[in-house]
Amino acid sequence: MNTRLATIALLSGTIALAGCAKKAPEQLPPAPEQTTTDNGTTVAPLEDTGPTLGSQAHFEDAVNGQNVIYFDTDRFNIDSADAAALQTQAQYLSQYRAISITIEGHADERGTREYNLALGERRANSAKNYLTSLGVDANRIRTVSYGKERPVALASNAAAWAQNRRAVSVVIN
């Protein structure tokens, strides 16, 4: 990741193009203060750089929060809203060819556990297939299904279930 820091200044202009009307990212970018890396060394804060290339926040900012697509009950087809989101993701991935992603497939709680694991895998693959049809190398896209094990909306109603039937693209670090 550190090697990518140097390129940030060059790329920040293109990031700004996609930057209007963004949704709040799921994961907030790191706070601008002293942080400790995994190997224990302290990294001095950089001044006003925005999210780092290679981070999930950078990806989500660049795709305008469209790293998540949603599905109808028991469905796994890519509708027009999904297609637009995936096109934005494909643009990002064609721009940053060093980046690989995991597509996490999810289902709502109103399904049996094992079927939902298979359904989540099918949804993740739908998204993957669409991205590869847009020219993204399949080797850069990993899939994993969490079935109904990782909901984001916790109520038991139609609105919550609609938010949970999703495929989430996550940058692999």
The reply to whether 79 sits near other proteins by the rule CB under 8 A is no
d(CA 157, CA 107): 14
- Residue carrying the six token digits 């900012």: 61
Q: Which stretch binds other proteins (CB under 8 A): 37-45, 48-56, 86-94, 138-146?
A: 138-146
State the angle between helix axes of 113-133 and 80-95 in degrees (0 to 180), rounded to the nearest 10: 60
Identify the residue among 94, 112, 133, 137 touching other proteins (CB under 8 A).
112
Length of the chain: 173
Identify the residue among 36, 154, 159, 173 touching other proteins (CB under 8 A).
154
Identify the residue among 53, 63, 141, 151 touching other proteins (CB under 8 A).
151
Residue 42 burial (10 A CB sphere; 0-12, 13-18, 19+): exposed
Identify the residue among 55, 66, 67, 145 touching other proteins (CB under 8 A).
145
The residues binding other proteins (CB under 8 A) are 74, 76, 109-110, 112-115, 117-119, 121-126, 129, 143-145, 147, 149-152, 154-156
